[in-house]
Amino acid sequence: MNKFQLPSDSKLRRPEFLFGVATSSYQIEGGAQLGGRTPSIWDTFCNKPGAVDNADNGDVACDHFHLWQQDIEMIQGLGVDAYRLSMAWPRIVPHDGQVNEEGLKFYEQIIDECHARGLKVFVTLYHWDLPQYLEDKGGWLNRETAYKFEYYAQVVSEYFGDKIDSYATLNEPFCASYLGYRWGIHAPGIKGEREGFLSAHHLMLAHGLAMPHLRKNAPNSMHGCVFNATPAYPLNDSDIAAAEYSDAEGFHWFMDPVLKGEYPQAVLDRQSHNMPMILEGDLDIIRSDLDFIGINFYTRCVVRFDENGDIQEVPQPTNEHTFIGWEIYPQALTDLLLRLNERYDNLPPLYITENGAAGEDNCVNGEVNDQQRVMYFQTHLEALDAAIKAGVKVDGYFAWSLMDNFEWAYGYKQRFGIVHVDYQTQKRTLKQSALAYRNMLLERREENQ
């Protein structure tokens, strides 16, 4: 398949529907000790024995710090409308209260180059690279970190204003809190039920504190937040409550306070002994009108209650999986969007801010034949189209990821890119999925001219 097929009645053919590619700072930038950047929790975590596969780290990554110009040119060549990136907090505020002008200018040149090439710029302020100096004071377990994020958001929005087309406060607070502070498999590697929920509350508080500054300093930009969602399905009819609870703890816990001004009662009840201190007024701060919500979707989970009454995920070995071991189940994307549309009567427009697949990709004679990923994108675009036709307002789609990169605790073994990266030479090679994406977008552009 040399291009993704969109039927003639596809809502994705609309000229106003946005297509893009996405990356994040620590995963691609490198330049860890350059440009005035100080360490993040991921620099520290990567140095812990056994924390990251193959003891990989993001010191160099894709060397986007030096190769950003060719990367932006490559993005334009794909025919996309927008580029989603994140800024490295420790590159902009390298020490408490100190602003690094060099860091701001690094991102400014990228933003300017994108605009010069006709690309909209979607910026995420926090994609997990908390400055280590804040972690040394407790990180997201310290309520003060929420106010440090408010300051960082103020610095960025005052400097860039409306030059950034779209601001997202947080990327996947589920991962930052649960993976980082509850289960300990991401930086900073802390394990504790109470810690997981406390860090989650402080992250959402940070979002709420930042929003007024973003609105004030960039009144013509879009402002939102990005959540990951892995919708749950019951193994049997007796497990419906297990699936409902899995969704409540997995993503309603983060979305409800923003959209409804409350936390899900099911989680408050079940985790009552692990609940954080929620001060009076906190939920009023977190509750905010958003211009958009980003949804990152990759797979589903199938769950049941085990003999202890705990939620247990049940593997589905007979179904197709990606290299990372995640089930391919595109119907779940349609189901998820319909569920969200039903749950929230004030749901703002959605963007699929991440969607993609990891593959065991090899470059052979200058080509990367990633047919599973090609079919993954094809079927998920169809699933997205079905949700839109059913009444869900979705305004854009970003493929994850632009290129192979540092995949957190998996290191460099897991390749999510539509562009292959040779980490020895930093050579970029468009995979078949990139060519199929580009060809679809070029065809769409010709139609809409």
Q: Are 443 and 79 in contact (CB under 8 A)?
A: no
Tell me what the pLDDT averaged over the chain comes to: 97
Residue 76 assigned ligand-binding role:
no
3-state secondary structure labels for all residues of 383-424? HHHHHHHCCCCEEEEEEECCECCCCHHHCCCCECCCEEEECC
Interval 342-358: pLDDT, tens: 999 999 999 999 999 99
Residue 326 assigned ligand-binding role:
no
Catalytic residue among 113, 195, 249, 354: 354
Residue 273 assigned ligand-binding role:
no
Is the residue at 87 inside a domain? yes
Residues spanned by the domain of 327: 11-447
pLDDT at 1 over 80: no
101 among known catalytic residues: no
Catalytic residue among 172, 195, 249, 382: 172
Interval 12-56: pLDDT, tens: 999 999 999 999 999 999 999 999 999 999 999 999 999 999 999
Q: Please give the Cα distance from 52 to 62 (Å, whole number).
A: 17
Q: Please give the Cα distance from 420 to 429 (Å, whole number).
A: 5
Is the residue at 389 inside a domain? yes
Peptide bond into 401 cis (omega under 30): yes
Instruction: Classify residue 309 as exposed, middle or buried by CB count within 10 Å of its CB (0-12, 13-18, 19+).
Output: exposed
Is the residue at 1 inside a domain? no
172 among known catalytic residues: yes
Q: Domain with 173 in it: what CATH number?
A: 3.20.20.80
Is the residue at 197 inside a domain? yes
pLDDT band at 243 (very low <50, low <70, confident <90, very high): very high
Residue 132 assigned ligand-binding role:
no
Interval 276-295: pLDDT, tens: 999 999 999 999 999 999 99
Residue 408 assigned ligand-binding role:
yes
Is the residue at 282 inside a domain? yes
Across the range 319-325, mean pLDDT stands at 98
Is the residue at 5 inside a domain? no
Q: Please give the Cα distance from 207 to 247 (Å, whole number).
A: 21
Write out the two tokens for 430.
Answer: 């468009």
Q: Is the dihedral of CA 402, 406, 408, 411 positive or negative?
A: positive
pLDDT at 384 over 90: yes
Interval 194-213: pLDDT, tens: 999 999 999 999 999 999 99
Split into its structural domains, the chain has a count of 1
Residue 68 assigned ligand-binding role:
no
Is the residue at 400 inside a domain? yes
pLDDT band at 448 (very low <50, low <70, confident <90, very high): confident
Residue 27 assigned ligand-binding role:
yes
Is the residue at 6 inside a domain? no
pLDDT band at 449 (very low <50, low <70, confident <90, very high): confident
Interval 168-181: pLDDT, tens: 999 999 999 999 99
Predicted pLDDT at 2: 85
Predicted pLDDT at 232: 98
